[in-house]
């Protein structure tokens, strides 16, 4: 039984944790990304007047960086008009209009540097850029009613369809970096024009058939770009993690719309493969910097983890599509794991800077030893320890802004008679005549009140996988509820108030013993937060810290976040090998993982010895 998404435009996040994040994006992050993208020439590149000798030579996927920023502005604008931001978008759209060729083509890099090579180099992201521009154009039209951007992109999409699908005259048959497939499904949903769904299907169906291989192009064939098998025969997550998850998003989209059992089966298996063997406890995925890829099952090293912000985010996008196909709480649980941990770590608390790779452990002393070693393994890659404002490859920052601005998409799904409550965020939502007011201080507190008015619906409230003790109260009286696939079901009529109270207490979590990096270690979680130790709170190096099982919850006022205190000790030996251990007790402090690295460079550890 499939469901519909109650999209972000019908859900207003009115307070609490995510409202603060959305305000941060609106007031700080969107502008900071704009400034950094302007400084680095990304916006002026759209003028198409770059000449040799000038600084900031346009890069082959800058279009996509700006496109995601434009899309973010659309989501912000939908909630509250922002004339200054809108003026910037309009100028970019005018630039695109001026530069777009007669036949509809638009790509900064190819038009400036190699117009004769268009649609011949599979690895150079033309279709990826096109996909992001299409997503932005849809969002902007939807938010403002200004149609020009969408018309330009419809013209471009028509060219792509003609060259790739009708004439089959391009040198490759499916994109080297997936993205346009899911954008085309959105275009179909928005315009109801079947040709866009057909084009998305065309790209999906061509992948893995290896019919066309541009000469000398070895990189963009095979596992790294999910081209090793036809998509309906792919059952494990492989290759570049962002590419992979964008592909899986489109596969899930098409499985739903086309009632395609083969795609659905592949998506279910791939999703299980990810969450059962290839995902960090934080929801980060893509554990190696080598090709930014999924590693083999259970290979989840902490100190060298890659875990790109875009990859975590795209896993949440995939999970959301899967929960549309089938309301099973494991999908929303995964979304929750990602958004409170592996994704959110990508953004600094002040909203100005970003991680591209997200460390799962920082041991500064060990890094120094490895780096100074004569036998230094040059391939050993450690993620950066401090967020920065812009990267040479800056795909993550505008992905963060568009994701948080539209995070309302993740709260509710519905069928004719049921509303699924997937995420707990203080909000007001409208589904036709039915209004839902969600009041909560989640994730700091596990109590959620839902007031329904204007009709009657069954509510299906997700009981998070981490939650062991919860109660349900209807209009002040405790009620029992049947739980189906992780959702507690309860009828609600006009004026009813349902209160779900989930006990949030710190808990110890272990990893499957096949995850070598976590063997013998435990993590502490608090509600949806994965907690971590930081050197700045715990006296520098964390390598010798042993935690005890005695935990108390506190609040860190300077971070504005809950913390956990643990009885602990530093255990050191008196020589390289020794049976004499010196144990110095202290109280350890753990903070939510996503907030690490906001107080200078320091050690960080999620997995610890607990004794
Ligand atoms: O190549 C485009 C984007 O930049 C990818 O999705 C990221 O992994 C980064 O390589
Ligand atoms: Zn990225």
- In this prediction, residue 371 carries a pLDDT of 80
Best mutation site among 226, 240, 391, 398 for ligand 1, i.e. most ligand atoms within 8 A of its Cβ? 240
Please state the atom number of ligand 1 nearest to the C-alpha of residue 286.
8
Contact present, 526 and 506 (Cβ < 8 Å): yes
In the chain, where the domains are located: 413-502, 506-610
3-state secondary structure of 609: strand
- In this prediction, residue 221 carries a pLDDT of 74
Rounded CA separation 86/79 (Å): 13
Rounded CA separation 347/208 (Å): 35
**Mean pLDDT on 308-330:** 98
Rounded CA separation 309/335 (Å): 14
Question: Residue with the nearest Cα to atom 2 of ligand 1?
Answer: 395
Best mutation site among 68, 130, 224, 242 for ligand 1, i.e. most ligand atoms within 8 A of its Cβ? 242
Question: How far, in Å, from the CA of 370 to the mean position of ligand 2?
Answer: 27
Closest CA to 268 of 245, 314, 236, 228: 236
Q: How confident is the model at residue 343 (pLDDT cuts 50, 70, 90)?
A: very high
Query: Is residue 310 lining ligand 1, measured as CB closer than 6 Å?
Result: yes
Query: Is residue 393 lining ligand 1, measured as CB closer than 6 Å?
Result: yes
Rounded CA separation 191/373 (Å): 59
Query: Is residue 68 lining ligand 1, measured as CB closer than 6 Å?
Result: no
Query: Is residue 177 lining ligand 1, measured as CB closer than 6 Å?
Result: yes
Fold of 413-502: Maltose phosphorylase, domain 3 (2.60.420)
Question: Measured at the alpha carbon of residue 398, what is the angle toward residues 598 and 301, in degrees to the nearest 5?
Answer: 55
Query: Is residue 242 lining ligand 1, measured as CB closer than 6 Å?
Result: yes
Bridge partners of residue 419, in order along the sequence: 414, 459
What would the pLDDT profile of 215-248 be if each residue is shown by its tens digit? 666 656 789 999 999 999 999 999 999 999 999 9
Neighbouring CB atoms inside 10 A of 594's CB total: 23
- The answer to whether residue 1 scores a pLDDT higher than 90 is no
Question: How far, in Å, from the CA of 240 to the mean position of ligand 1?
Answer: 9
Please state the atom number of ligand 1 nearest to the C-alpha of residue 292.
8
Question: How far, in Å, from the CA of 379 to the mean position of ligand 1?
Answer: 20
Task: Give the number of residues written for the chain.
Answer: 611
- The per-type count for the chain, helices as H runs and strands as E runs, is 16, 22
Rounded CA separation 590/537 (Å): 8
Neighbouring CB atoms inside 10 A of 177's CB total: 23
Q: Which residues of 415-433 are buried (b: 16+ CB within 10 A; e: fewer)?
A: eeebbbbbbbbbbbbebee
- The answer to whether residue 252 scores a pLDDT higher than 90 is yes
Question: How far, in Å, from the CA of 256 to the mean position of ligand 1?
Answer: 27
Structure tokens at 239: 């290759």
Structure tokens at 333: 């649980």
- In this prediction, residue 68 carries a pLDDT of 98
The DSSP annotation for 206-260 comes to HTTT-----TT--TTSSGGGT-SS-GGG--S--SBHHHHHHHHHHHHHHHHHHT-
Q: What is the DSSP letter of 579?
A: S
Closest CA to 358 of 401, 400, 319: 400
Question: How far, in Å, from the CA of 434 to the mean position of ligand 1?
Answer: 41
Q: How confident is the model at residue 211 (pLDDT cuts 50, 70, 90)?
A: confident
- The answer to whether residue 284 scores a pLDDT higher than 70 is yes
What would the pLDDT profile of 367-408 be if each residue is shown by its tens digit? 988 887 766 666 689 999 999 999 999 999 999 999 999 999
Question: Residue with the nearest Cα to atom 6 of ligand 1?
Answer: 242
Query: Is residue 395 lining ligand 1, measured as CB closer than 6 Å?
Result: yes
Rounded CA separation 484/415 (Å): 15
Rounded CA separation 271/265 (Å): 10
Rounded CA separation 322/251 (Å): 10
Query: Is residue 289 lining ligand 1, measured as CB closer than 6 Å?
Result: no
The three state secondary structure string of 91-127 is HHHHHHHHHCCCCCCCCHHHHHHCHHHCCCCHHHCHH
């Amino acid at each position: 039984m499939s469901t519909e998404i109650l999209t972000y435009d019908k859900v207003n996040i009115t307070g609490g944790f995510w409202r603060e994040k959305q305000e941060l994006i609106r007031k700080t992050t969107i502008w900071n990304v704009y400034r950094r993208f302007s400084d680095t020439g990304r916006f002026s590149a759209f003028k198409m007047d770059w000449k040799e000798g000038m600084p900031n030579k346009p890069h082959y996927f800058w279009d996509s960086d700006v496109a995601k920023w434009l899309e973010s502005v659309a989501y912000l604008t939908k909630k509250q008009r922002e004339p200054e931001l809108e003026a910037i978008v309009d100028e970019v759209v005018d630039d695109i209009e001026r530069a777009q060729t007669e036949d509809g083509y638009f790509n900064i890099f190819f038009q400036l540097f190699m117009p004769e090579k268009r649609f011949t180099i599979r690895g150079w992201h033309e279709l990826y850029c096109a996909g992001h521009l299409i997503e932005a154009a849809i969002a902007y039209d939807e938010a403002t009613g200004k149609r020009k951007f969408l018309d330009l992109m419809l013209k471009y999409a028509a060219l792509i369809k003609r060259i790739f699908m009708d004439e089959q005259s391009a040198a490759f048959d499916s994109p080297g970096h997936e993205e346009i497939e899911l954008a085309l499904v959105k275009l179909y949903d928005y315009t109801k024009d079947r040709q866009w769904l057909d084009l998305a299907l065309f790209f999906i169906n061509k992948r893995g058939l290896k019919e066309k291989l541009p000469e000398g192009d070895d990189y963009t064939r095979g596992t790294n770009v999910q081209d090793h098998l036809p998509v309906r025969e792919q059952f494990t997550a492989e290759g570049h993690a962002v590419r992979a998850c964008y592909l899986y998003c489109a596969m899930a989209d098409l499985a739903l719309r086309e009632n395609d059992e083969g795609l659905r089966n592949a998506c279910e298996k791939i999703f299980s493969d990810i969450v059962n063997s290839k995902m960090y406890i934080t929801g980060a995925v893509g554990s190696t910097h080598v090709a930014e890829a999924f590693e083999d099952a259970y290979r989840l090293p902490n100190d060298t983890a890659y875990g790109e912000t875009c990859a975590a985010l795209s896993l949440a996008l995939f999970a959301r599509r899967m929960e549309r196909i089938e309301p099973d709480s494991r999908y929303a649980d995964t979304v929750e794991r990602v958004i409170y941990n592996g994704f959110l770590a990508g953004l600094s608390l002040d909203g100005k800077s970003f991680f591209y790779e997200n460390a799962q452990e920082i041991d500064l002393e060990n890094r120094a030893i490895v780096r100074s070693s004569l036998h230094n393994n040059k391939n050993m890659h450690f993620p950066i320890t401090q967020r920065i404002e812009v990267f040479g490859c800056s795909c993550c920052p505008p992905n963060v802004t568009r994701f948080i601005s539209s995070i309302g998409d993740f709260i509710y799904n519905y069928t004719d008679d049921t509303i699924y409550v997937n995420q707990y965020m203080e909000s007001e939502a409208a589904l036709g005549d039915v209004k839902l007011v969600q009041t909560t201080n989640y994730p700091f507190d596990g109590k959620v009140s839902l007031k329904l008015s204007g009709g009657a619906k069954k509510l299906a409230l997700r009981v998070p996988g981490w939650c062991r003790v919860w109660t349900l109260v209807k209009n002040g009286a405790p009620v029992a509820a049947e739980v189906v696939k992780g959702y507690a079901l309860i009828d609600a009529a006009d004026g009813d108030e349902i209160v779900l109270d989930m006990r949030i207490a710190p808990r110890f979590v272990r990893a499957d013993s096949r995850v070598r990096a976590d063997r013998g270690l435990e993590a502490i979680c608090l509600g949806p937060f994965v907690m971590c130790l930081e050197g700045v709170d715990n006296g520098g190096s964390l390598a010798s810290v042993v935690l005890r099982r005695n935990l108390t919850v506190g609040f860190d006022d300077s971070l504005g976040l809950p913390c956990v205190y643990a009885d602990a000790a530093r255990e050191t030996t008196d020589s390289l090998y020794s049976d004499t251990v010196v144990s110095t007790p202290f109280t350890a402090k753990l903070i939510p993982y996503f907030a690490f690295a906001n107080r200078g460079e320091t050690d960080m550890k999620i997995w610890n010895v607990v004794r």
